[in-house]
Amino acid sequence: MTAKMRAMVIDQFGGAEVFREGEVPLPVLRPGHVLIRVHATSVNPVDCLIREMGPPFGPGLPAVLHGDVAGVIEQVASDVDAFQPGDEVYGCAGGMIGSGGALAEYMLADAALIAHKPKRLSMRDAAALPLVTIAAWEGIQKAGIGAGHTVLVHGGAGGVGHVAVQLIRAAGAMVCATVSSERKAEIARDFGAQATVLYRMEDVPEYVRRLTDGAGFDVVFDTVGGSNLPKSFEAAKLNGAVVTTVALGQFDLSPAHIKGLSLHVVFMCIPLIHGIGRAAHGMILQRAAHLADSGALRPLVDVHEFSIGEVAEAHRLMESGEATGKLILEAAW
């Protein structure tokens, strides 16, 4: 008889109501992988997108979603040397095409995609970090952000944004953040932003003059998308750089051409979808764990508490736009 485990499953793509509790086969350990007992997972916009739309990179149905995971290793393949049973780990390791997700008792994960959990963080807090940290880290790498740079982060109190603010500070750069309210400005400053912009009250030329004497930012990191990408071109200095995690849509690149800007697009799901470059994600999470244990990196977690069985409610809150920080689901089977 095939061993089973409890999970939140979807049988069709659609609204948050498609989740149901059920039993699915316990993943079978395979080479290069570990089996994780899930303690917590977090909700990312891509999880909601996959739940609603499915293809082109959604898993086959019936499906178990969610990539972010924090938990304890139960089994280790014989060819995996970096982990052993009992290790506390975290990562973004599934919930997409070809891999099961974290909305279950156990998750099978490619060992290259995970790292030892930061000792300083709880399972709940660790589950908030993987996807957003990897996305922020890749953006910083692509744009070459380092000491002496002046960087603007659009959405500095958001999921990727608040991590980007911390990592940019850790890289030695000066960081400014756009936000929607004074409350979020306080959050961005608490996470290290040295200046903030209430974008509904101050337009781009105004804050570029105020913060850069009109020269523009060395790098603009756009975590919002939509109309913020053209604003990013406007805010960047001549021969500067723009990095974005949300480039979906059609945009006029003329302003970028006129300024000689470099444009970097981050899509951190590529290793999960295509199976390439996975070890880079594990390395990023290892380095991020060191930063977290040193106190230089921490997550912004929403006050609402959910169990994995309450995933529908968590997705609805995510889609409402009313959450402040990452939404965490804890195992409570």
d(CA 135, CA 183): 25
Element (H, E) at 183: helix 182-190
162: CB partners within 8 A, 6+ apart: 156, 187, 188, 191, 299, 300, 325
Residue in the structure block whose two tokens are 């002046």: 150
What pLDDT shows up at residue 57?
87
The values of phi and psi at residue 31, to 5°, are -55, 140
The tokens of 187 are what?
């959050």
DSSP letters for 122-171:
-HHHHHTSHHHHHHHHHHHHHHT--TT-EEEEETTTSHHHHHHHHHHHHT
CA-based angle 273:113:98, to the nearest 5?
A: 35
Contacts of 191 (CB under 8 A, 6+ apart): 156, 157, 162, 165, 166, 298, 300
In this prediction, the residues of the chain whose per-residue pLDDT falls under 50 are none
User: How do residues 295-311 score in pLDDT, each as one tens digit?
Assistant: 999 999 999 999 999 99
CA distance 220 to 151: 6
CA 148 to chain centre: 26
Q: What is the pLDDT of residue 249?
A: 85
Taking alpha carbons only, the member of 135, 189, 131 closest to residue 164 is: 135
Nearest one of 205, 206, 238, 240 to 222, comparing CA atoms: 240
Beta bridge partners of 8: 21
In degrees and rounded to multiples of 5, residue 70 shows phi and psi of -135, 135
Task: Say what the pTM is.
Answer: 0.96
Q: What pLDDT, on a 0 to 100 scale, did the predictor assign at position 277?
A: 96
In order of their start, the domains of the chain are: 4-128+275-330 (3.90.180.10), 134-265 (3.40.50.720)
Alpha-carbon distance of 228 to 190, in angstroms, equals 23
Question: Facing residues of 43 across strands?
Answer: 327
> Cα torsion at 145, 146, 152, 157 (round to 10°)?
90
